[in-house]
Amino acid sequence: MVEFIQRDNSMQKKETRAIRTQIDNSLLHEHSAPVFLTSSFVFESAEEGRALFAEEMAGNIYSRFSNPNTSEFIDKMVSYENAEAGLAYATGMAAVFGSLAALLNKGDHVLASRSLFGSTHHIFTKILPRWGITCTYVDAGKSEEWEAAIKKNTRMLFIETPSNPGLDLIDLEWAGMLKEKHGLILNVDNTFATPYLQNPIDYGADLVIHSATKYIDGQGRVLGGVAVGKKERMDEMRFFARQTGPSLSPFNAWLLSKSLETLAVRMEKHCQNATELANILDKHPEIETAKYPFLPSFPQYDLARKQMRAGGGLVTFNVKGGYHRAARFIDSVKFLTVSANLGDTRTIVTHPASTTHSKLTEEERAAVGIFPGLIRVSVGLENVEDIIADITQALELSK
Ligand SMILES: *Cc1c(COP(=O)(O)O)cnc(C)c1O
């Protein structure tokens, strides 16, 4: 049975619920939830097996459908995002694809923000068209273009805010109104902000997706994905997921559930370190522009303050001297990691134009603010003085 400790925690704050939501203890009275590495579950009688399959009673049947560890992880995410129900997936992309494949039909049209995670972009441009589902991209800030691009068959708005790596924001309140006015499904990839900093459901999103691989795990160990939202949408997605099998492993669910216990404190520190670094970079003579949502110089500073609790863990900047300077900068960092990932305890520097966004054309990159000199920093939890020292010495060395 999927049972949660029956305590009334509805009055507690999110950070408390992320720690205190826990599956029932076993007879051994463990304090920390164990890992349920089991593919299937036992029926106590023929009648119980029948009732479970008929969905007349709640309970676990097979770990492709549900498992106590994934249930605990989902329960915490539902609570963190103010949602009604949720589903866990093996990866963030499985969650993205699972939502699109379950909720869209042949002939449907999707309106999406132009700046999307690379694989999501490929699903929209190369995979969904094979099934007659089309997509139009619109620029984040240009609200008139969104309304003009809505067609008779438009069914979904798909957005990422802040975007990767441009850090462009979309006004969630406005997106919620647009979806309401045109009867669309609002689907938000909230990976960058995390449920600690931003809750799109409060603005009317039907569902919210996360790559749990990033800040939710937060330590660069496992892949995972999760979708939470309105019960009705989750039921449609559950049917699809149950039959097609993109399930999260119980072990990864156990790690991710444990990680949620520290999400709030980690995010506070990520944001604090990122703010300090952004302030230094903002005034640095070797940098053309530095971007961070909570920097007063950020073009959408007021919007960031309206819909985010803090600015997040990502800082981007354009070095003077374009591609070659950026490459020299990457080769000059001493202890920070050069990688394409983000949301780790370890600070990671990335050159998006030659790695994560190399498959886009030069024009497509420019349209979403990815210039040859752009560097993305996923600011980690090291002492910020060390992070700043490594980045500033690399800026000097790469001159
Ligand atoms: C990483 C990422 C994904 C994909 O997640 P995986 O866990 O790598 O499959 C989707 N959206 C955003 C914004 C991401 O950063």
Output the average pLDDT for the chain.
94
Indicate whether 283 and 234 sit together in one domain: no
Closest atom of ligand 1 to CA, residue 341: 1
Answer yes or no: is pLDDT of 6 > 60.
Answer: no
* Binding site membership of 312 for ligand 1 (Cβ less than 6 Å): no
Query: What is the average per-residue pLDDT within 269-282?
Result: 98
* pTM across the whole model: 0.94
Asked if 229 contacts 208 with a C-beta cutoff of 8 angstroms, the reply is: yes
For residue 71 the two structure tokens come to 């249930």
Distance 259 CA to ligand 1 centre (A): 17
- What φ, ψ does residue 188 adopt, rounded to 5°? -120, 125
Query: What is the average per-residue pLDDT within 180-193?
Result: 97
Query: What string of DSSP letters covers 317-347?
Result: EEETTHHHHHHHHHHH-SSSEE-S--SSSS-
DSSP 8-state symbol, 188: E
Indicate whether 296 and 278 sit together in one domain: yes
Answer yes or no: is pLDDT of 27 > 90.
Answer: no
Query: What is the average per-residue pLDDT within 386-394?
Result: 98
* Binding site membership of 214 for ligand 1 (Cβ less than 6 Å): yes
For residue 388 the two structure tokens come to 């700043």
Indicate whether 237 and 279 sit together in one domain: no
Q: Over the stretch 53-96, which tens digit does the pLDDT of each residue have? A: 999 999 999 999 999 999 999 999 999 999 999 999 999 999 99
Count the domains in the chain. Answer: 2
In this prediction, residue 24 carries a pLDDT of: 84
Final residue belonging to a domain, choices 211, 238, 260: 260
Question: Which residues, other chains included, contact 267 with Cβ-Cβ below 8 Å and sequence gap of 6+?
Answer: 194, 196, 197, 215, 310, 313
The CATH number of residue 250's host domain is 3.40.640.10
Q: Over the stretch 322-379, which tens digit does the pLDDT of each residue have? A: 999 999 999 999 999 999 999 999 999 999 999 989 888 889 888 888 999 999 999 9
E strands within 14-162? 85-89, 109-113, 134-138, 154-160
Answer yes or no: is pLDDT of 1 > 70.
Answer: no
In this prediction, residue 3 carries a pLDDT of: 43
Percent of the chain at pLDDT exceeding 70? 97
Alpha helices, DSSP H only, in 170-300? 172-182, 194-197, 231-244, 250-260, 263-282
Provide the angle, in degrees to the nearest 10, between the axes of the packed helices 263-282 and 384-397: 40
In this prediction, residue 10 carries a pLDDT of: 64
Residue 61 lies in a domain: yes
Indicate whether 232 and 316 sit together in one domain: no
Indicate whether 47 and 184 sit together in one domain: yes
- What φ, ψ does residue 352 adopt, rounded to 5°? -55, -40
Computed over its alpha carbons, how large is the radius of gyration of the chain?
22
* Binding site membership of 160 for ligand 1 (Cβ less than 6 Å): yes
Give the Cα separation of 34 and 28 in Å (integer). 10
Instruction: Check residues 219 and 366 and name the one with the higher pLDDT.
Output: 219
Residue 321 lies in a domain: yes
Closest atom of ligand 1 to CA, residue 224: 7
Final residue belonging to a domain, choices 260, 295, 325: 260
Residue 1 lies in a domain: no
Nearest CA to ligand 1 atom 7: 92
Which helix (H) or strand (E) element contains residue 350?
A: strand 348-350
Nearest CA to ligand 1 atom 2: 211
Answer yes or no: is pLDDT of 2 > 90.
Answer: no
* Binding site membership of 117 for ligand 1 (Cβ less than 6 Å): yes
The CATH number of residue 386's host domain is 3.90.1150.10
* Binding site membership of 217 for ligand 1 (Cβ less than 6 Å): no
Final residue belonging to a domain, choices 242, 260, 278: 260
